[in-house]
Amino acid sequence: MYSDLLANLNPEQGEAVTLPPVDQNGHAQSALILAGAGSGKTRVLTTRIAWLIQTGQVSPIGVLAVTFTNKAAKEMLIRLGAMLPINTRGMWIGTFHGLCNRLLRAHHKDAGLPSTFQILDTQDQLSAIKRLLKGLKVDDEKYPPKQLQYFIAHAKERGLRVKDIESGDDFQAKMAQLYQAYDEQCQREGVVDFAELLLRSYELLKHSEPIRTHYQERFRHILIDEFQDTNALQYAWLKLLSGHDGSRPSTQRSAVFAVGDDDQSIYAFRGADVENMRLYEKQFHPMMVKLEQNYRSHGHILDTANHLISNNTERLGKNLRTDAGHGEPVRIYEAASDSLEASWLVDEIKALINSGIQRTEIALLYRSNAQSRIIEHALFSAGLPYRVYGGLRFFERAEIKHALAYLRLLENPNDDTSFSRVVNFPTRGIGARSIEALQDAARAQQCSLYLAASSLEGKAGAALGGFVRLIDHMREATRHNTLPETVEFVIQHSGLIQHYLGEREGQDRVENLQELINAATAFIAEEGYGQDAKAATLPGENAPGDVEVSPLASFLSHASLEAGDNQAQAGQDAVQLMTVHSAKGLEFTSVFITGLEEGLFPHENSVNELNGLEEERRLMYVAITRAKERLYLSHTQSRMLHGQVRYNMPSRFLEELPSDSLKWLTPKAKDARWGGRSSGSTWNDGYTRQREYESNDFFDSGSDRPVTRAHSTLSNNVKRMAAPPRDTYPFKIGQNVFHTKFGEGRVTALEGLDTDARAQIHFKRHGIKWLQLSIAKLAAID
């Protein structure tokens, strides 16, 4: 019977899916699947769940599956529903945050939270922090809100409460103290931030023995996707829940099935730790299967990826292979400038479309968002439809957040973040002064702004009283409404619709608000509130985790946990523009990786980070492996960045590709171009590589004609760049200098003529900067 499930798997996939979840001693046997790009990992994960259920090794309620995005969770549910005749609705498949939210809702009392607790997204968290600092009269120059936010998030992601933080210097101590105050504020207001969601549920499981045991016994099989992206807290959570932390005897642990790819770990900057894979090997003793058969890319593309990534040292080791044949070589193009790069892109895309390739099958990738502008401009001028990923998403839009803030106040009036957000929006004469007075009153009475509002006297008190009555009225009036009716009522009576109708550019916002009503309707239908609510519960178990929450409360958490699409140009047949990060997990027939220049990709900031270069290389690896049939790489000699023209060297990654798989559309720069560099080891100097204009290696010193006969369009640029004689600069490369504002630094590059002469300086405190020598006050030191 289950052979159907396995019929379409290759041997290694089949092996992974059917790994015995129990060893010969009857103990749970965990697994680690090293799944290369395009090796069918989602399929393996889903089939594993189906196989476990179908072979009777577990019932659907005994499975816990964790993903990193809602999209991945949804996809898994859909595939599973197609494989098995079961209702997947009650299954615990979701993101870490979604599952933890579910846990905390079910056990809010034990977790020390009100039943109506709200979730703060990153924006909300920042405004809560700003409000906190203001209230405590803390100098936000000295303790920047953003930095405190980072401090708190990182502490929580490592599982650290204030008491666990080692006392360091004064600054550290103050940050810890503010962390404490922030947590107290959140507790008072009944809100939790994203990291708190995880930490709180970890602590819940840790400290409540009955709850822990309940879930440990329920979830006999725990599956994790994108394991390389887990952080320390998520790992600890997993260890605890599966009983591998020592809380259960070895005979009673759950089997963990982790799928990941260390070569695609690109999120260290947000707390992910690839080390977890090695830790997992050591602590869970998993059986290991490598999925190295790639079903996506042609040979040259795959060779390119393999070759590049082999330059990384810290790898578990894996080499992708394909049956698809070599296919097209990887094409490399050098443009003279960013605008010429863009127009080349347009030409090449037009040719691809003429050859019958769908626009949606063409992706333009870049390292940083700022690069999209010039490409968009070129596509727009050429009349080529395109879609940009990223940017503001539906639930992050200001008007939507305003509406949600009103809705949150109906649920939980103590939510001061929401209160502050809309107390004077639309404006109702409650200005900064009134708010300040209100905050003082609230602090004195140890209560929320909402409660303090009625105690205030005078004109401000009257206006605030009006606001409180408005909220109370909305709550009363919608008591028996359906969710969409409530949403509609609130956006009408809050005055939001009217406000935006009066604005010149408000039409879009009004439409978005109306869309929010639709979103509520869709949510009710999807979640099965109303007619088939019963179907949501699986037979056989009355789990404490499956409790009903009010539709509004659950819609609000949905809005926080799932920011929604950025719907711009969705569905249209358009060329796809996105950063390399957001391309992860996607695939396209044709892929362009643009801006392959030193300083950009690898990004200049990365060279100063621990293992930063290796992460950039993995990022490049991810980019390459998005391509199925055609891959183009481009770089430019000059690029406008932050309003200044920069001349960057070609990316070092271009040198790390196998020449047999490449085809240079512009003449490949001769070795001379790469400077007098000896065999690859000299770049790790911690500084951005910069074009060097040594007359004797790049240009014929006697004439302005380049020796390496570059593309004809390049020669103008070349002339300008060839001109500056070295010795006219007041500083030398490597010299230490002092700047009145940035302090001490070292000169790392020089370029330009006369008043245009610039120096790149690596400042100890402020990082790398370009300074115009005619303007900047620089003094040589030592």
Count of residues making up the chain: 782
Catalytic option among 264, 371, 576, 735:
264
At its nearest, how many Å lie between DNA and the CB of residue 708? 30
Residue 699's identity, in one-letter code, is F
Catalytic option among 12, 157, 193, 225:
225
The answer to the question of whether 271 is labelled as a binding residue is no
The answer to the question of whether 40 is labelled as a binding residue is yes
Identify the residue among 269, 547, 686, 772 touching DNA (CB under 7 A).
269
Is 225 known to be catalytic? Answer: yes
Q: Is 276 in the site for DNA (CB under 7 A)?
A: no
**Could you tell me which stretch among 252-260, 343-351, 466-474, 561-569 binds DNA (CB under 7 A)?**
561-569
Q: Is 603 in the site for DNA (CB under 7 A)?
A: yes
Q: In angstroms, rounded to a whole number, what is the distance separating the alpha carbons of residues 108 and 101?
A: 10
The answer to the question of whether 168 is labelled as a binding residue is no
Is 42 known to be catalytic? Answer: yes
Residues 239 and 204: beta-carbon distance below 8 Å = no
DSSP structure string for 715-750: HHHHHHHH---GGGSSS-TT-EEEETTTEEEEEEEE
The answer to the question of whether 41 is labelled as a binding residue is yes
Secondary structure (3-state) at 669: coil
At its nearest, how many Å lie between DNA and the CB of residue 127? 9
Q: Is 605 in the site for DNA (CB under 7 A)?
A: yes
# chain residues binding DNA, by CB under 7 A: 48
- Specify the residue, 302 or 761, whose C-beta has the smaller distance to DNA: 761
Residues 604 and 768: beta-carbon distance below 8 Å = yes
- 225-to-46, 64, 65, 551, 772 alpha-carbon distances in Å: 10, 11, 8, 29, 49
Identify the residue among 11, 210, 354, 432 touching DNA (CB under 7 A).
432
Identify the residue among 111, 129, 195, 517 touching DNA (CB under 7 A).
195
Is 626 known to be catalytic? Answer: yes
Q: Is 502 in the site for DNA (CB under 7 A)?
A: no
At its nearest, how many Å lie between DNA and the CB of residue 600? 9
**Could you tell me which stretch among 50-58, 285-293, 425-433, 542-550 binds DNA (CB under 7 A)?**
425-433
Residues 409 and 416: beta-carbon distance below 8 Å = no
At its nearest, how many Å lie between DNA and the CB of residue 251? 34
Q: In angstroms, rounded to a whole number, what is the distance separating the alpha carbons of residues 689 and 670?
A: 17
Is 576 known to be catalytic? Answer: no
**Could you tell me which stretch among 249-257, 324-332, 600-608, 729-737 binds DNA (CB under 7 A)?**
600-608
**Could you tell me which stretch among 65-73, 199-207, 295-303, 657-665 binds DNA (CB under 7 A)?**
65-73
Identify the residue among 451, 563, 586, 669 touching DNA (CB under 7 A).
563
Q: Which of residues 362-381 bind DNA (CB under 7 A)?
A: 367-370, 373
Q: In angstroms, rounded to a whole number, what is the distance separating the alpha carbons of residues 510 and 497?
A: 6
Q: In angstroms, rounded to a whole number, what is the distance separating the alpha carbons of residues 621 and 619?
A: 5
Catalytic option among 626, 652, 689, 691:
626
Q: b/e per residue, 498-530, with b = 16+ CB within 10 A?
A: ebbeeeeebeebbebbeebbebbbebbeebebe
The answer to the question of whether 35 is labelled as a binding residue is yes
Q: Is 122 in the site for DNA (CB under 7 A)?
A: yes
Q: Is 71 in the site for DNA (CB under 7 A)?
A: yes
- For residue 476, how many other CB atoms are within 10 A of its CB? 10
Q: Draw the binding track, 88-117, toward DNA (x: CB under 7 A; -: no contact).
A: -------xxxx-------------------
At its nearest, how many Å lie between DNA and the CB of residue 222? 18
Q: In angstroms, rounded to a whole number, what is the distance separating the alpha carbons of residues 357 and 480?
A: 53
At its nearest, how many Å lie between DNA and the CB of residue 233? 10
Q: Is 751 in the site for DNA (CB under 7 A)?
A: no
Q: Is 521 in the site for DNA (CB under 7 A)?
A: no
Q: In angstroms, rounded to a whole number, what is the distance separating the alpha carbons of residues 387 and 566?
A: 10
Question: Cβ contacts of residue 203 below 8 Å, gap of 6+?
Answer: 111
Q: Is 612 in the site for DNA (CB under 7 A)?
A: yes
Q: Is 77 in the site for DNA (CB under 7 A)?
A: no
- Token pair belonging to 180: 């404490």
Q: Is 424 in the site for DNA (CB under 7 A)?
A: yes
Q: In angstroms, rounded to a whole number, what is the distance separating the alpha carbons of residues 43 and 622?
A: 19
Secondary structure (3-state) at 193: strand
Question: Cβ contacts of residue 557 below 8 Å, gap of 6+?
Answer: 101, 105, 118, 119
The answer to the question of whether 206 is labelled as a binding residue is no
The answer to the question of whether 36 is labelled as a binding residue is yes
**Unique residue bearing structure tokens 């042609």:** 298
Catalytic option among 13, 29, 41, 629:
41
DSSP structure string for 201-269: HHHHHHH-HHHHHHHHHH-SEEEESSGGG--HHHHHHHHHHTTTTTTS-GGGPPEEEEEE-GGG---GG
User: For the CA atoms of 712, 718, 719, 721, what is the dihedral angle to 10 degrees?
Assistant: 170
Q: Is 270 in the site for DNA (CB under 7 A)?
A: yes
**Tell me, what DSSP letter sits at residue 650?**
B
Q: Is 338 in the site for DNA (CB under 7 A)?
A: no
Q: In angstroms, rounded to a whole number, what is the distance separating the alpha carbons of residues 573 and 385?
A: 7
Q: Is 137 in the site for DNA (CB under 7 A)?
A: no
At its nearest, how many Å lie between DNA and the CB of residue 248? 27
Secondary structure (3-state) at 345: helix
At its nearest, how many Å lie between DNA and the CB of residue 190? 19
Catalytic option among 18, 42, 177, 180:
42
What residues form the annotated binding site for ATP? 35-42
Binding-site ranges for DNA (CB under 7 A): 68-71, 95-98, 121-122, 140, 153, 194-195, 269-271, 367-370, 373, 390, 424, 427, 429-434, 561-563, 578-579, 581-582, 603, 605-606, 609, 612, 616, 640, 642-644
Active-site residues: which are they? 41-42, 225-226, 264, 626
